[in-house]
Amino acid sequence: MTLGFDRPLYLLPFDHRESFESGLFGLKPPLSPEQVASVTAAKRLVYDGFQAAVAGGVPREPAAILVDEQFGADLLRDAASQGIMTACPAEKSGQAEFTFEYGEDFARHIETFAPTFCKVLVRYNPAGDKAMNRRQANRLRRLSEYLRGTERKLLFELLVPAEPAELEQLGGDPRVYDLARRPRHMVNAILELQEAGVEPDVWKVEGLDRAEDCANVVEAARRNGRDRVACIVLGRGADLKRVSSWLTTAAGVPGFVGFAVGRSTFWDALFEWRHHRLTRDAAVAQIARRYREWADIFELTPGSAAHAAHLTRRALRRWENEGGRL
């Protein structure tokens, strides 16, 4: 199996579990069947927004969903039946240290849904707890080797939170950390994980403000023959202006092939729908519109992985509209 994924990827992640349960519905496990149904209905609404966006013009080929099997099993099956790329999380939600959601049974769950990607969310600061980093790397290497052996792809969501001492040195300002420390930590985390035997096909990374930092991340991800390994940008639940800025910066850097923006896409709509201030149809339309906005950034940025394909599709549509005449 060739390592990597070298084509556009527009991922809508709504695999959040703890934040849906507690943040959106104010629930605490164990959930009753009625409560499970409520969370499942919210996930269905997000999925309908995704489908509306694809129906409205977001290219089908790079479109993908990331959703958990607990609340989204039917959505995973439906997307797969339509030829839509899917991703499932392997990590236990809301944990500071990566552990498998289903323990030793992780492989069976992956095989049940056969997603395009198996996704892990990992908090890994190279300047942080070395023992915890080693424990995480050992678990992740096991998953990586299993996926290579079964010819499945690994989507690695890398979060690099500031250590308290670091943040104190920087005056307690997270924005200073994001500019002065996090880019280098991201590169070092990628290098350390590779050396530990963890081989993602796609790195899902926090947004960066400078194109040179994006290029450094790609260089690390693709070193030593990993030429097809790709990077995508996550949203961190940030406001629309910041997300747009991160995506625009990354879109012009070869190796960044798309995005994985979740809460910034759907949270406002779900919250308003949940509190009866927005109809379901209006919530679906808002999610579709925001997802389309992120896709358009990559489609319309010259030099992006998707721009040439966008121009080809546009030319083909013009040709078809003109009756097939050159």
With helix as H, strand as E and coil as C, how does 60-104 read?
A: CCCEEEECCHHHHHHHHHHHHHCCCEEEEECECCCCCCCCECCHH
- The amino acid that residue 161 corresponds to is P
pLDDT, residue 2, reads: 84
Q: Number of helices and strands (H, E) in the chain?
A: 13, 8
pLDDT, residue 1, reads: 67
pLDDT digits (tens, 9 = 90+) for 61-104: 999 999 999 999 999 999 999 999 999 999 999 899 999 999 99
What does DSSP assign to residue 322? Answer: T
Burial class (CB in 10 A: 0-12, 13-18, 19+), 314: exposed
Could you give the dihedral angle defined by the CA atoms of residues 273, 275, 278 and 283, in that order, rounded to the nearest 10 degrees? -10
Burial class (CB in 10 A: 0-12, 13-18, 19+), 202: buried
Distance CA 77, CA 73 (A): 6
pLDDT, residue 51, reads: 98
User: What would the mean pLDDT of 272-289 be, rounded to a whole number?
Assistant: 98
pLDDT digits (tens, 9 = 90+) for 92-116: 998 999 999 999 999 999 999 999 9
Given the DSSP bridges, would you call strands 9-13 and 256-260 parallel, antiparallel or unpaired? Answer: parallel
Distance CA 188, CA 144 (A): 19
pLDDT, residue 326, reads: 46
What does DSSP assign to residue 194? Answer: H
pLDDT, residue 307, reads: 73
Instruction: Name 119's bridge partners.
Output: 89, 155
Under 8 Å between Cβ of 258 and 232:
yes
Distance CA 254, CA 96 (A): 32
Distance CA 251, CA 302 (A): 8
For residue 85, CA distances in Å to 21, 62, 237 come to: 25, 8, 23
Quote the mean pLDDT of the chain: 94
For the cut 80, the answer to whether the pLDDT of residue 303 exceeds it is no
Under 8 Å between Cβ of 72 and 14:
yes
Distance CA 51, CA 67 (A): 14
User: What would the mean pLDDT of 21-44 be, rounded to a whole number?
Assistant: 96
Would you state the structure tokens that stand for residue 48, as one six-digit string?
Answer: 């309908």
Q: How much is the pTM?
A: 0.94
For residue 260, CA distances in Å to 65, 263, 281, 294, 310 come to: 9, 10, 23, 9, 19
pLDDT confidence of 123, banded at 50, 70, 90? very high
pLDDT confidence of 262, banded at 50, 70, 90? very high
SS3 296: helix
Burial class (CB in 10 A: 0-12, 13-18, 19+), 289: middle
Instruction: Name 9's bridge partners.
Output: 258
Least confident piece of the model among 1-10, 120-129, 245-254: 1-10
pLDDT digits (tens, 9 = 90+) for 203-248: 999 999 999 999 999 999 999 999 999 999 999 999 999 999 999 9
Under 8 Å between Cβ of 307 and 301:
yes
- The amino acid that residue 108 corresponds to is R
Under 8 Å between Cβ of 269 and 279:
no
pLDDT, residue 53, reads: 98
For the cut 70, the answer to whether the pLDDT of residue 311 exceeds it is no
Q: How many residues can be counted in the chain?
A: 326
